[in-house]
């Protein structure tokens, strides 16, 4: 996937991922590095196939790789990583050959991945579900301290 390779080597993407890695250096909860992003991409693509959705593989991977880049802004200023991520993703996507329409769709999903979308077959719902399914909360030593532990009880994730 040529456009995905471009994202991975894009200087801004690398800077954001490096900042997140440094900011989470002492974090005891789930991390938001490349491993997490690739897990989300793989799960999202599998769900896309299983549900008969028609999203392109490189669109799903781009969305997954970029969905948490706003964490670096959230940690620095408190701005929502969903909102910041959508803003930071756009220039990277355009530089890597994504169309305006694809950018809008991907950035919308990134900006709305905090909660399940009302549109069950949307890119935002696919991202939300894949993001949550990528976490092994059942085996987490700090599960009871995590905000997601409580939040998970209140949402139905479509497996």
Domain locations in the chain? 2-153
What is the greatest pairwise CA distance in the chain? 43
Q: Does domain 2-153 have CATH number 2.40.170.20?
A: no
Higher pLDDT, residue 51 or 148 = 51
pTM for the model stands at: 0.86
pLDDT over 80 at 119, yes or no: no
Q: Which of 51, 15, 59 is nearest to 129 (CA)?
A: 51
pLDDT over 90 at 52, yes or no: yes
Mean pLDDT of the chain: 86
Average pLDDT of the segment spanning 133-156: 60
User: What are the backbone dihedrals phi and psi of residue 142, each rounded to the nearest 5 degrees, phi first?
Assistant: -115, 25
Torsion, Cα 24 125 5 2, to 10 degrees, reads 180
pLDDT band at 137 (very low <50, low <70, confident <90, very high): low
Average pLDDT of the segment spanning 70-81: 88
Q: Helix 57-66 and helix 100-111: axis angle, to 10°?
A: 50
Higher pLDDT, residue 129 or 57 = 57
């Amino acid at each position: 996937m040529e456009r995905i390779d471009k994202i991975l080597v894009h200087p801004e993407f690398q800077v954001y991922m490096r900042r997140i890695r440094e900011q989470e250096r002492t974090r005891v909860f789930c991390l938001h590095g490349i491993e997490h992003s690739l897990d989300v991409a793989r799960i999202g693509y599998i769900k896309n196939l299983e549900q008969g959705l028609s999203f392109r593989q490189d669109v799903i991977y781009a969305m997954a790789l970029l969905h948490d880049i706003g964490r670096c802004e959230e940690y620095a200023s408190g701005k929502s990583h969903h909102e910041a991520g959508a803003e930071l993703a756009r220039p990277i996507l355009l530089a890597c050959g994504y169309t305006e329409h694809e950018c809008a769709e991907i950035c919308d999903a990134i900006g709305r991945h905090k909660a399940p979308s009302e549109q069950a077959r949307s890119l935002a719902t696919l991202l939300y579900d894949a993001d949550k399914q990528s976490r092994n909360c059942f085996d987490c030593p700090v599960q009871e301290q995590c905000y997601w532990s409580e939040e998970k009880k209140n949402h139905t994730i479509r497996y």
